[in-house]
């Protein structure tokens, strides 16, 4: 990979799978016992706030019992040592990338350890359970909700992501099914701007055909090997 200077990496649930964090579209298609549309849409939140808040409380609480894996650690090493531009865009809402040490990081679908005020839009770091109608520390309105980007809502920092993709020499997708846009379209944007494209995934994804190269296997093996191939 000669001449590579600017790298954009996209991760999905597969990068956290070896840390025992459930993926979305595993066997049975249920996400921790729920249909995604019952816990990850604005309608679900309006229809049953108790269920939705409890679902994310349970996942937030689980974070204390999981650890970053070799893939997270290799990406953090790359973040520390890569001399060019590097942006790690994750669809994941767990905190494993930052706990491994990644800094040049964007959570485009939000974060479990954050609360969003539906009234004033402010985001607040949040560690514990978040019952419905919790007061916002900034505006006082009882309108805090999980800071998760639901289906139909705009992901975070899309302009920053689009700019990085336009400048990228290499786009690497790790552990994502390519089922959800706009993330699933990033490979096409990167290719359009002339980037090399690489996919590291356990199974072929819905977007595999768009990648210049696809390597199949567990992220815990493929990612350290790829980072090593960059001389890091
Ligand atoms: N190593 C690498 N890849 C893996 C591993 C592993 N150990 N285990 C699973 N995978 C791959 C699967 O083959 C699959 O392609 O990870 C992918 C997980 O796909 P999904 O469960 O669909 O998760 P993701 O792609 O992150 O979902 C995207 O959908 O529900 C929304 O907002 C939610 O961010 C999520 C988005």
Query: Do the beta carbons of residue 7 and residue 85 sit within 8 Å?
Result: yes
Cis peptide upstream of residue 25 (ω within 30 degrees of 0): no
State percent of the chain over pLDDT 90.
Answer: 91
Q: Whose CA is nearest to atom 5 of ligand 1?
A: 14
Residues 6+ apart with CB under 8 A from 189: 162, 165, 166
Given 72, 97, 107, 109, the catalytic residue: 109
Residue 72 in contact with ligand 1 by CB distance below 6 A = no
What's the gap in Å between 11 CA and the centre of ligand 1?
8
Q: Whole-prediction pTM value?
A: 0.97
Residue 175 in contact with ligand 1 by CB distance below 6 A = yes
Per-residue pLDDT at 31: 77
Per-residue pLDDT at 6: 98
| Strand, helix or coil for residue 101 | coil
Q: Whose CA is nearest to atom 30 of ligand 1?
A: 24
Tell me the average pLDDT across 96-116.
Answer: 98
Residue 10 in contact with ligand 1 by CB distance below 6 A = no
Residue 19 in contact with ligand 1 by CB distance below 6 A = no
Beta bridge partners of 170: 7, 196
What's the gap in Å between 137 CA and the centre of ligand 1?
34
- 139-156 in b/e burial notation, b at 16+ Cβ within 10 A? eeeebbbbbbbbeeeebb
72 is a catalytic site residue: no
Which residue is listed with tokens 């994502």?
Answer: 176
Residue 207 in contact with ligand 1 by CB distance below 6 A = no
- Cα angle at 106 between 16 and 160, to 5 degrees? 145
Q: What are 30-73's pLDDT values in tens digits?
A: 677 888 888 999 999 999 999 999 999 999 999 999 999 999 99
What's the gap in Å between 174 CA and the centre of ligand 1?
9
Per-residue pLDDT at 33: 83
Query: Do the beta carbons of residue 111 and residue 95 sit within 8 Å?
Result: yes
Residue 38 CA to residue 27 CA, distance in Å, equals: 18
Q: Whose CA is nearest to atom 8 of ligand 1?
A: 14
Judge whether residue 29 has pLDDT over 70.
Answer: no
């Amino acid at each position: 990979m000669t001449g590579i200077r600017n790298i954009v990496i996209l991760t999905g649930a597969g990068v956290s799978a070896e840390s025992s964090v459930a993926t979305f579209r595993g066997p049975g298609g249920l996400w921790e016992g729920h249909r995604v549309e019952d816990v990850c849409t604005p309608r679900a939140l309006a229809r049953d706030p108790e269920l939705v808040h409890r679902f994310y409380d349970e996942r937030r609480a689980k974070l204390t019992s999981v650890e970053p894996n070799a893939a997270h650690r290799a990406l953090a090493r790359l973040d520390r040592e890569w001399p060019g531009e590097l942006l790690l865009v994750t669809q994941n809402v767990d905190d494993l990338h930052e706990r491994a040490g990644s800094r040049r990081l964007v959570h485009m679908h939000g974060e479990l350890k954050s609360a969003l005020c539906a009234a004033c839009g402010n985001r607040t770091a949040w560690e514990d359970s978040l019952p419905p109608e919790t007061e916002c520390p900034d505006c006082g309105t009882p309108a805090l909700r999980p800071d998760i980007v639901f289906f139909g809502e705009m992901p975070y920092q899309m302009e920053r992501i689009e700019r990085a993709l336009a400048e990228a020499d290499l786009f690497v997708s790790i552990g994502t099914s390519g089922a959800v846009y706009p993330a699933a379209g990033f490979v096409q944007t990167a290719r359009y701007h002339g980037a090399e494209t690489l996919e590291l995934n356990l199974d072929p994804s819905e977007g595999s055909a768009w990648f210049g190269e696809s390597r199949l296997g567990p992220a815990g093996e493929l990612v350290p090997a790829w980072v090593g191939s960059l001389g890091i």
